[in-house]
Structures are given as structure tokens and as C-alpha cells.
Amino acid sequence: MARKKKEPEQNKKAVNTDGIMGLHGSVTEQPISETLEVNYMPYAMSVIVSRAIPEIDGFKPSHRKLLYTMYKMGLLSGGRTKSANIVGQTMRLNPHGDAAIYETMVRLAKGNETLLHPFVDSKGNFGKVYSRDMAYAASRYTEAKLDSICAELFRDIDSDTVDMVDNYDATMKEPSLLPTTFPNVLVSANQGIAVGMASNICSFNLKEVCDTAIALMRNPEHDILETLPGPDFSTGAELLFDEAATREIYATGRGSFRLRAKWRYVKEGNLIEITQIPYTTTTEAIMDKVAELIKGGKIREITDMRDETDLGGLKLAIDLKRGVDPEKLMQKLFRLTSLQDSFPCNFNILIAGMPRVMGVGEILEEWTAWRTGCVKRRIYFQIQKKEERLHLLKGLKRILLDIDKAIRIIRETEMDSEVVPNLMIGFGIDEIQANFVAEIKLRNINKEYILKQTKAAEQLEQEIGELRQTLNSQSKLREVIIGELQKVSQQYGKPRQTEILYNVSEAAEEDEEEPVPDYPVTVFLSREGYLKKITQQSLRMSGEQKFKEGDSLLMTRETTNRAEFLVFTDQFQCYKSRLSDFEDGKASLLGDYLPQKLGFEPGENMASVVFCGDYKGFVMFFFENGKAAKVPLSAYETKTNRKKLTGAYSDKSPLVKAMALEEDRQVALYSSDGRAAIFSTAQLLPKTTRNTQGVAVMTIKKKAVLQNAVLLEESGIVNQSRYRTKTIPSAGALLKEEDSPDQQQTFEV
């Protein structure tokens, strides 16, 4: 017994919600600020700097490690090799598992069609960027090499153009950046999600980017829109040009471009063929959405839709019903599916290890500055190599002025190790020069060789002088970069794949809804949430209403097919729907289950149903704590097709009932302890916010709750003066037997 009493005390000491569990179950207290600084921040910065955000060369570390490995494997000029071989070699630089490395290769591959200019020349099935379900083949089945454009990524990488750093285990070197000769950061699409930030860069046409970079170098005030009209995506499609939005993105790096699919109408088969889709969607997502719209009765013009994608490229075929206008149907599909979509831009790039969101002009400015540094390092490297060669030739020149003396020194030297020192003393040259002279073959000691080497020294001096002039001149450095950009543009430039549509009619973009037929209907709603909409003709011919076992009628209402209604739930949410979204039913059917039809969340239950009419009047909310809130119905009228409203009413107390009233009425309130009160809704002022807590209308005693609220004329109260109150809140009066509410089977809201 003593042990049992001691255990809770021990447990109490062992638990500390403000601490961190130690190695042996002990608790070590640590301030939350220190935890964030010591544990969280290094992780967050590692993801930002070393994983998810691209740098100025347009690559993330995973891309760079893969491409550099392929370059060192000789795959730029050699033939293809198995992808599994490349993946294995890359693990020397990127130890994150073969699956992650292969996924990186798939995205860079020509076969996947993610990039405008793929860096991996692939053979085999690499999936498709526009397909969600098309799986790529395993790495043992596919082959790859570097595409020819990669020559521009690695040009002069061995000329000290970029820093070389240790790999993760310091067994080899890898480049910190790739010395790309063109602004790849804007040419290759890139997306990354880090900790607390993200990056989403769209792709632009290579030729247009190069032309823009050149124009900005020659004139910093150049209008970017003149040479860079918009992004260019590998999946093609059509760009809906918006000058204001484009200029905003070019200036800030944030915003979105609107894209829509490219299609054509085939009259012979009465069908529509979609050949290009927005970069942000997939064929499966489009087909799933169209199938959902057909099933829900939103689209009735389509008889069939199928995916006819083959080796010739993407193709979605839509069979039309007779007499359907294909133009109107496509406008409808653009509104309702991702056949028209937006590409959100977030040009977040690492600059010197720091993430920065920049516009296009600023990105090109940063790239030009970085590329200028690469060119300077290359020129300095070339100068060093030429000066080393010139230094050797200068030593040779001194020797060749008196070749007989040199021969005599070498011949009269007894020991081989003393040849170089003796030449150094005899001609006043250093050890490097003396070694070079000592290695010259005897056959090269002739007049032709001497003149040739003397001329080479003069040529080297001239070249070094020109390189130094370029190194010290910003204008000449700029011309070098411009020349490289022009060469890349000419050699690798391609026509635009994404067509730009100017002056798109706004009328075509409006969300026009087809007229919904209107006719009288009667609505039956059960307590468990089954709704039936029955026409007058069917109602006259029908018998008794059918309900699920244990279920019964909650309410009935005569209205029209276009009527809208609100369903309030016990999770303080409101679902808006129209009766036209429901099929006409029969008395013999159970009807549509509202929680499933409207998409309730798990565990969410129906609390009350309100018909909106023309959104005039107000909604009265009654809560268990005796409070009531008066909210204008217009607060629930949405301009868009939004079906769900969160924070639809106050969450301070459970909802008892909601009722819609066109004008102020008298309401009877009932509490769980057998009391009743009558008050007028005119005693409450409307509140502008939906989630208002309301005003106390009935004083609720301890352990009691407000149980029900009904319109006075439906209450069945005979002695109305007994329960009526002029001021609120009111405790009401004990309910007499003759005033008890009738057990009605139906009522109207």
C-alpha cells in the first residue's frame, strides 16, 4: 500500500510540461526562446540555404550535384549510360538516397517535359509533367547523358570561375555554383517549399531572356515588357496577357499569370480536342473535375471525355451532344475546371546565402553582377597561365642569346643535380626557368626554334596586355558577357511554346450561369438530414412519405426550384446551397443526405435549416445560455459561388435554433426546467457581425438551458399574457398544462 501511495508523487515530479525529457527520463528545463534559437533556427536555415531555394545560377544543391557528377563522368560528350549508374555516382555528393536523386533527374530530363530546355538527354519512360498518374520507369531501365546546352553550364569551370568546396565527407570537391553563361534562373522553372518561406519561379523563353539581359546592360532604363512579354511554359497553352499584373510581377516578383488550355473543334466528329493545358494542372485532374460536373448536373453538353495522349503528344477528346456550341462550352469549362488556371509567382532566390524576393529587372541585375565576377576570375586565371608561360620564355630568351655558353655550362658540369644551379648562376635566371631550359631537346637548338619562341613571347605579352585592359574596363567586360549571351541565344534559342493572347474579351471571362428553370416544389426535410424536393405533379400522385427507420419529418416548405437555403451546423459553420442543385425526387425515396451532399466535415452535424428568400429580413439565433442574436440575412449573401462560411454564428454556447424572419414577430421560448417566456424580436437590434454573442432574452436558472424557440402562433399557448414580457431578459413563468406545445409532426421555417 505504501508503494501505491508513493507512485503518484513520483509521477508528479517526473512530469514538467515546460521542460525537455533527458536521457534517463529526467526533465531539463529550457526556455522556448533558447529552443527556437538552438534547435529550430539551424534546421530552418539549413532547409532554406541548402535544400529548397534556388541560387543565382538557377539551381538547387540537388540539381547542381547531379549535373556536376554527370559532367565528371564524361556524359557531356560521351554516350548515354544507365540512370542507376548516375544515381550511384551522385551519392558521393548527395547522400540522400537513390530515390530522391532519381526524382531530381526525372524533373531535369527531356522525356518529362518539365523544362523548356532540359539538361538531361533521356531515353526511356520518364513520365510526363502534365500527367499525375503516369509513373516513370525505374532507374535500371532508363538511360541518360547531358544535353548539349549543359556546355553553357560548365564553360570554363576549370578556369577558377567559381569556388570549389568540399563535399559532405571532404573526399572530393564540388562547385558552389555553376558558371552559367545565360540567366538560367529565369529560363528554368523552379519551385521550392522551405521553412517559413517558399519559391515559385516560372520559366521564360531563352532568347527573350538573353535579349532582355543584353538590353538592360546597354540601357538600365530599358522597358522589360518590350523584350520579355511574358513567361513561356514547356506545356505550351495560352497566356491571358494583363499588362498591369505583368508589370507588377516584373517589379516585385509576386503576382500570378493566367493560363488556359489550347483547343480546336473537329467538325467531322463533333468533338473538341485539347492539345495543350496549363503548366499548373494535369490531365487526370481535368478529367476528374469534368466527370464530377457531369455527375452533378452542372454540365449536360458532353457525352464522353477520354485521354488520347500518345507519342504524338497530349490530347484530350470531348464528344459533344448535337447542337452544342463548342465556344460556349469551352468558356464554361474554363470557369469550372483547371483548363484555365493561374501560375502564382514568388521569385525568391538566394543571393550570397540570403533569400530575397526580387523582380525580373533586379534578378537580371544580380545575375549580371555575378556573371561579371565569373568572367573576371576567368580572365585573371588566363593572365596567370600566360604570365607563367611568358616567364619561361623570358628565361629561354636569355639562354638563346648565348647558346654556346649554355652548352658549355651543361657539358662542363660533372653532376646532373648541379646543371640547374649552374644555369641559374650563369644567366641570372630562376629555378623554374632553368628547369625549363634544361629540358629542351638538343634538336630544338636552331635558328627557327629561337625565332619562333621569341615571337611567341611577344604575342603573349600582347595578349596579357589585352586581357588586363578587359579586366580593368567595365564596358569591355560587359561586351564579353553580351557576346556570350548572343551566342547562346543564337545556338539554343527556340520559338515560344506559350501563345500570348492580348485584349481578351472580359465578357468571355465573366462567370455567367445558365438560367435555372423555376417551378413550384415542396421540400421535405427529415430530422437526420435527408432532403426531398418534389414537384407539385409528383406530390399529387404520391402516397405517404418514406423515411429511414428511426427517422421522421422535421419540416416541410412550399417554395420554388431556384430557392436558396442555409444549413447551420454544430461546428459554427454554414453551408449555402440551392434547390436546383438537387434532383427532383419522389415520396417513395429517402432523398439526398445533406451532410454528404454539402460536404460536412467528420463529426459535423446539422443544427438548423433556413430558407433565404431574397435575403431580406434577418436570422434569429437562439442559444442554450438564453441569449439570442439578430443578424441580417444579407450577411450570408455571397457574391461568389462560395458554398461554405466559417464563423457563421457565435461559438460561445450551443445553438438551439435558427429561424429566418422577414419582419419582427413574437417568439415563445421554452427552458428545460418547464418555464416559458414570450418576447418580440423588435426588442433586439440587428448586429452587423455574424458571430455576435447576442443579448440575453431569457434568464436561465442553474443546470437549466434554453430548450426551444417557436413563433407564438405556432406555440399553442392559450394564456399568452401569463408569459409575455416587456423587458428582457425575463425568467418567464412555469408552463401550465393547457399551454404545453402541441406535438406537431411538421412545421414551417
- Residue 697 and residue 580 in one domain: yes
Of 136, 85, 205, 115, nearest to 495 by C-alpha is: 205
- Residue 322 and residue 397 in one domain: no
> What pLDDT is recorded for position 745?
38
Nearest 5°: CA angle at 670, between 668 and 671?
Answer: 150
In a domain, 28, yes or no: no
- Asked whether the predicted pLDDT for residue 50 surpasses 60, the reply is yes
Of 471, 479, 481, nearest to 182 by C-alpha is: 481
Q: Given 179, 200, 230, which residue is the final one in a domain?
A: 179
In a domain, 250, yes or no: no
Of 568, 584, 585, 588, nearest to 576 by C-alpha is: 568
Nearest 5°: CA angle at 28, between 26 and 33?
Answer: 155
- Asked whether the predicted pLDDT for residue 73 surpasses 80, the reply is yes
Of 631, 633, 625, 629, nearest to 699 by C-alpha is: 625
Q: Given 179, 202, 233, which residue is the final one in a domain?
A: 179
> What pLDDT is recorded for position 361?
95
Of 697, 741, 698, nearest to 717 by C-alpha is: 741
- If you count DSSP H runs as helices and E runs as strands, how many of each does the chain have, helices first? 24, 35
End-to-end CA separation in angstroms for the chain: 63
> What pLDDT is recorded for position 578?
85
Provide the edge-to-edge strand list for the sheet that holds 655-661: 655-661, 618-623, 627-632, 695-696
- Residue 487 and residue 525 in one domain: no
Mean pLDDT score, 528-546:
84
Calculate what percentage of the chain has a pLDDT beyond 90.
Answer: 45
> What pLDDT is recorded for position 514?
55
- Asked whether the predicted pLDDT for residue 668 surpasses 50, the reply is yes
Concatenate the DSSP letters of all residues of 137-182 into one string: PPTTT-EEEE-GGGHHHHTTTTTT-S-EEE-TTSSSEEESS---SS
Task: Please identify which residue in the block is written with the cell numbers 452542372.
Answer: 298
- Residue 543 and residue 677 in one domain: yes
Band (pLDDT 50/70/90 cuts) for residue 9 is very low
Distance CA 619, CA 635 (A): 10
- In tens, the pLDDT along 236-249 reads 999 999 999 999 99
Band (pLDDT 50/70/90 cuts) for residue 662 is confident
- Residue 68 and residue 142 in one domain: yes
- Residue 526 and residue 649 in one domain: yes
Calculate what percentage of the chain has a pLDDT beyond 70.
Answer: 93
Which carries the bigger pLDDT value, residue 471 or residue 446?
Answer: 471
> What pLDDT is recorded for position 746?
39
Distance CA 142, CA 148 (A): 19
> What pLDDT is recorded for position 160?
92
- Residue 532 and residue 488 in one domain: no
- In tens, the pLDDT along 191-215 reads 888 787 889 999 999 999 999 999 9
Q: What are the residues whose beta carbons fall under 8 Å from the beta carbon of 413, sequence distance 6 or more?
A: 419, 422
Task: Please identify which residue in the block is written with the cell numbers 553582377.
Answer: 369
- Residue 481 and residue 552 in one domain: no
In a domain, 17, yes or no: no
Q: Which helix (H) or strand (E) holds 474?
A: helix 474-492
Band (pLDDT 50/70/90 cuts) for residue 518 is confident
Active site residue 141: yes
Band (pLDDT 50/70/90 cuts) for residue 39 is confident
Which carries the bigger pLDDT value, residue 341 or residue 4?
Answer: 341
In a domain, 52, yes or no: no
Of 679, 732, 674, nearest to 703 by C-alpha is: 674
pTM of the model: 0.67
Q: CATH number, domain at 663?
A: 2.120.10.90
- In tens, the pLDDT along 252-278 reads 999 999 999 999 999 998 999 999 999
In a domain, 370, yes or no: no
Distance CA 730, CA 668 (A): 12
In a domain, 531, yes or no: yes
> What pLDDT is recorded for position 747?
41
Burial class, 87, CB count within 10 angstroms (exposed 0-12 / middle 13-18 / buried 19+) = buried
- In tens, the pLDDT along 565-605 reads 888 888 888 888 888 888 888 888 888 888 888 888 888 88
In a domain, 507, yes or no: no
Q: CATH number, domain at 384?
A: 1.10.268.10
Q: Among 155-159, 370-374, 441-445, 507-511, where is mean pLDDT lowest? A: 507-511
- Residue 383 and residue 319 in one domain: no
- Asked whether the predicted pLDDT for residue 486 surpasses 90, the reply is yes
Grid cell for residue 586: 419522389
Distance CA 68, CA 75 (A): 10
Report how far apart, in Å, the C-alpha atoms of 491 and of each of 32, 318, 488, 545, 636 are: 56, 40, 5, 76, 60
Q: What are the residues whose beta carbons fall under 8 Å from the beta carbon of 748, sequence distance 6 or more?
A: 555, 556, 557
- Residue 551 and residue 412 in one domain: no
> What pLDDT is recorded for position 640?
59
Report the domain count for the chain. 4
SS3 86: helix
In a domain, 3, yes or no: no
> What pLDDT is recorded for position 290?
93
Which domain range does residue 297 map to? 262-338
- In tens, the pLDDT along 449-482 reads 777 877 888 889 999 999 999 999 999 999 999 9
Distance CA 431, CA 437 (A): 10
Q: CATH number, domain at 308?
A: 3.30.1360.40
Q: Tell me which of 43, 102, 130, 141 is the catalytic residue.
A: 141
- Residue 576 and residue 708 in one domain: yes
Provide the edge-to-edge strand list for the sheet that holds 143-146: 81-82, 143-146, 120-123
- In tens, the pLDDT along 280-294 reads 999 999 999 999 988
- Residue 610 and residue 693 in one domain: yes
Distance CA 577, CA 696 (A): 31
In this structure, the strands spanning 143-146 and 271-276 are unpaired
- Asked whether the predicted pLDDT for residue 433 surpasses 70, the reply is yes
Band (pLDDT 50/70/90 cuts) for residue 6 is very low
Q: By the 8 A CB rule, do 385 and 467 touch?
A: no
Of 109, 120, 107, 117, nearest to 75 by C-alpha is: 120
Distance CA 523, CA 539 (A): 10
Q: CATH number, domain at 88?
A: 3.90.199.10
Q: Given 311, 338, 365, which residue is the final one in a domain?
A: 338
Helix axes of 431-438 and 419-427: crossing angle, nearest 10 degrees: 120
Distance CA 205, CA 231 (A): 7
